[in-house]
Amino acid sequence: AQKITQTQPGMFVQEKEAVTLDCTYDTSDPSYGLFWYKQPSSGEMIFLIYQGSYDQQNATEGRYSLNFQKARKSANLVISASQLGDSAMYFCAMREGSSGTYKYIFGTGTRLKVLA
Amino acid sequence: DTEVTQTPKHLVMGMTNKKSLKCEQHMGHRAMYWYKQKAKKPPELMFVYSYEKLSINESVPSRFSPECPNSSLLNLHLHALQPEDSALYLCASSQGFKGRSNNGYTFGSGTRLTVV
């Protein structure tokens, strides 16, 4: 079963507008972390934001915020005031913690295109 | 130094060649990872090293051989590869192996491998 689901293969947003990229997850582990990464065409994966399963408040990092709804198992990324440089692939990832293992599971990604 | 450096950036090799990919970090991170990423797909975990010991091998074919000579260096030795092994190979590191902290990966920019 898919553990991380990103249902939007592609998104368009007008420059300076806000955009929400969806991510839902599935885990039975009470301790987990959720991450968003940006991958430009150059290939590098750039860490954007992190949300821990025990965090009470939604994470924010500059123009990025994470809308964490634990009961719905969703962790949507909100980018405010989009810029042309935000055009890239965006991956949601989950880290599951259990004794002796530690790895990330990535969603299939959302390709964002910011329009001038 | 907050970077993960991968060399070479591009590599073309024949199916009978032996080559190596190199990854280096000087952030004191104790976990290092190899991921394989095909075009328009999410990264797929190959290997995890924790404290210089191989911790996870995701059933990777033996033509891929990882090596962690020290805590800063991670190699991936390639031998007798197939054209379908052509992909972006990403190295990543993280602070530790367990815990609930923001244990996000720092990725390198990857090596684009083409097997001919």
Please state, for a pLDDT cut of 70, what percent of chain A lies above it. 93
Quote the CA–CA distance of A102 and A107 in Å, as a whole number.
17
Quote the CA–CA distance of A103 and A80 in Å, as a whole number.
30
Q: Do B45 and A103 touch (CB under 8 A)?
A: yes
Say how many CA atoms lie within 13 Å of B93 toward its Cβ: 24
The two three-digit tokens of residue B69, written as one number: 């000579």
Quote the CA–CA distance of A94 and B38 in Å, as a whole number.
20
Q: Do the Cβ atoms of A90 and A21 come closer than 8 Å?
A: yes
Kindly state the average pLDDT of the residues B89-93.
Answer: 94
* Mutation for testing the A interface, residue in B51, B100, B113 having most A CBs under 10 Å: B100
* Mutation for testing the B interface, residue in A23, A44, A92 having most B CBs under 10 Å: A44
Q: Looking at beta carbons, which residues of chain B come within 8 Å of A103?
A: 33, 45, 48, 56
Strand (E) positions, B26-80? 31-37, 44-50, 53-57, 64-70, 73-79
Q: Do A43 and B103 touch (CB under 8 A)?
A: no
pLDDT per position as a tens digit, B36-83:
999 989 999 999 998 899 988 999 999 999 999 999 999 999 999 999
pLDDT per position as a tens digit, A33-87:
899 999 999 888 999 999 988 888 999 999 999 999 999 999 999 999 999 999 9
